[in-house]
Amino acid sequence: MMKRLLTVSILILAFASLHAQNVIDLIISEVMLENESSVTDDFGDHTPWIEVFNTSQGTVNIAGCFFSDDPANLTKSQIVKGDLRTKIGPRQVALFFADGNASKGTFHLNFPLKGGRTLYLVSNDGRTVIDSLRMPFVIPKGQSISKFATDNKELVFNDIHYADPSPRSVNGKHSQKSKAQIIKENDPHGTTLTVVSISVVFFALFLLFLIYSLSGNIFSGKVKLRNPFKREGKVSKAAALPAGREDEVALAIAMALHAECGGETEAAIALALHRFLSECTHDAEPYVITLQPRRGAWDDKKRNFRKQPR
């Protein structure tokens, strides 16, 4: 049992580790080439910066990955390992400064950004390009290149625009209106929302009233459910003949048979009809009478055996 628990624990940790190291969920979300008044680095300098965004719901460690602006040299600047700050949380960003001096720290690259080149984010294997961004030759002053999410909920980034710098924040199409904003514009006083809410509540209460009323009548016996297994066409003896008339009918049949035939035959038939009408169970079938007499001591076959002398 302990071995199984240990195996399952190891598999869970391995899966979590693989999920945490899923660097393909990283994108280059924003780049600023000429930083004059935007965010500063740890030394207070305005240097070009690169924003990396984690689109997944798990933590991704970017340590060991590479930045490059040369397709022939994808391992141009590596992000050092051992710094806990390289772990990017779910839907979080990390900012890197391209000042050409990697000795300043973990988040500094050893090459500066230049217009007209393509910036690459490369996996820690040094070959797989995770994401790239084409940098134009000329960028309006004070503007950055941003990848905007086409869907603020899904955060699918495939639209690139010039925009005001927004480091360390998610770039979304702020012109998109949420459902709450649309409802507020179409119904400023909340009349529609109030009517819908009250209707839903009253419908739910009415449905509960019907359910409890029906179940109460069933359990109290006021409403009787039909038995689906009950055989149709079965006629009771009380409905077939008036109460107390079975013996009279059997006697009348016996007297009629005695007048016509005489002997013991009519007595046997009369007895059979009497038992059919009063004592024995039978099947109600068209033009067929099935007798099921009760078995007594006289029907015991053991009494028919002849005793053999010893």
Q: Report whether 172 contacts 149 (CB < 8 A).
A: yes
Q: Report whether 121 contacts 157 (CB < 8 A).
A: no
pLDDT at res. 174: 45
pLDDT at res. 190: 81
Q: Which residues of the chain have pLDDT under 50?
A: 14-20, 152, 174-176, 234-239
Cα 88 to Cα 168: distance, rounded to the nearest angstrom: 12
pLDDT at res. 214: 84
Q: Report whether 197 contacts 205 (CB < 8 A).
A: no
pLDDT at res. 128: 93
CB-facing half-sphere around the CA of 264: CA atoms within 13 A: 0
**Quick one: fold of 19-181?**
Immunoglobulin-like (2.60.40)
pLDDT at res. 18: 44
In the structure, how many helices (H) and strands (E) does the chain have? 6, 13
pLDDT at res. 157: 56
Tokens of 102: 């990697």
pLDDT at res. 20: 43
List the domain boundaries for the chain.
Answer: 19-181, 237-295
pLDDT at res. 237: 46
